[in-house]
Amino acid sequence: MFQSKKRSWKTLMIALVAVLAFTVMAGCGKKEAGEGKDSSKVIATYEGGEITENEFDLEQRMVLALQPQMEQLIQMEDFREFLIKQEIAYEYLEGKADKKTKDAGKKKAEDQLKEMKAAYGDETFKTMLDSQQLTEAQFAAYMTRIFTVMEGEQQKITEDDVKKEFDATKDSYTTASVRHILINFTDPEGKERTPEDTLKLAQDVKAKLDKGDDFAALAKEYSEDPGSKENGGLYENVSVDQWVPEFKEAALTQPLNEIGEPVESQFGYHVIRVEARTEKTYDALTNEEKEMIKTNLAANKLDEFMAGDLEKNIIKKIELPPVKTDEGTDAGTNAGTEGSGNAGTDTDGATNGAEGEGNSTNTGK
């Protein structure tokens, strides 16, 4: 019954850049020395620079090497326009970085590259690059650009900023041990239950618990959550932020060791007993947790920059080439952008979905 993810792909891209956990998604390596002059068409101009068709092709191949499942998105005009704006943002901000920031970004990129190769294994890592005809030098330049820009954004974050963000989101750092029994809106044979029937079954289970029946035994008998059924319905010391809102709220507020009224979520009705709850203070945060808060705040600043100054003042023109189908024919139309007023897709409209937590759904509960 873990958190259902609702973040838009635009916000997801920014978030993945922030997390930097083997799925970095922004920037693009420029041509390496010795590769020859790039004579392809200039498709975007911005204050102090330009992007060519070959460079944008490299950007798309980098994304597909890291996330092959995004191939369909690459065919979408609004996604491609967002991608080139993201490329412009990273090129522009890297160019503005001072030597100290660039050195720090390069060091972090080198460390991350070593971790990735160790995690994937040399052969798998090489296969990932070969799948999109990428060199390790191109990938290293790509990583360096990402970390340089993120380093620059992180330098703008103060300790007070981190504390303020923690105070605003501290519930997300609470852990709880929760035992529950889930009655799904569909039965084990796949037949749909009405909400009324589902609630009635959950109330029947609660009545048994109220009479003193063993929770773990009833969970194994009645619960339709494969993630906890065989463990007597128990999720132990789990971050409440992983759960869907209704379940999270119960974990945060329900009196300890009491059987609560059935709680409805997208999955069905939950009969819940909160057995332990631990709130975290700022002083108890690990360095890694503080660094993650700082990185997320830096990513938010980057998001604001892309929706604001980049769109209004920095981008001069974008003229994307048509999408090519497998047969080589054009699909879609050119996405032309002149000046700041027509700078393409509505970034704000998509990124307003940031209250969600990603883009996939895990229905473990």
- Burial of residue 119, with CB atoms counted within 10 A of its CB: 0-12 exposed, 13-18 middle, 19 or more buried: exposed
Q: What is the mean pLDDT of residues 286-306?
A: 91
Which tokens is 328 given?
């080589």
Give pLDDT, residue 37.
77
Confidence of residue 326 (pLDDT cuts 50, 70, 90): low
Separation between Cα atoms, residue 289 and residue 166, nearest integer Å: 10
Q: Domains in the chain, please, with CATH?
A: 9-162+287-351 (no CATH), 175-278 (3.10.50.40)
Confidence of residue 35 (pLDDT cuts 50, 70, 90): low
Give pLDDT, residue 38.
83
H-type helices in the chain, by residue range?
A: 9-19, 53-66, 71-74, 77-96, 99-120, 122-130, 136-154, 159-169, 195-210, 215-222, 245-253, 287-305, 347-351
SS3 for 21?
coil
Q: Which contiguous run of DSSP H or E holds residue 179?
A: strand 175-184
Tell me the average pLDDT of the chain. 83
Inter-residue contact 271 to 205 (CB < 8 Å): yes
Read off the DSSP letter of residue 260.
P
Is residue 6's pLDDT more than 50?
Answer: no
Q: What is the mean pLDDT of residues 35-49?
A: 87
The pTM for the full model equals: 0.66
Q: Which contiguous run of DSSP H or E holds residue 27?
A: none
Is residue 36's pLDDT more than 70?
Answer: no
> What sign does the dihedral 302-170-231-184 (CA atoms) show?
negative
More confident residue, 325 or 276: 276
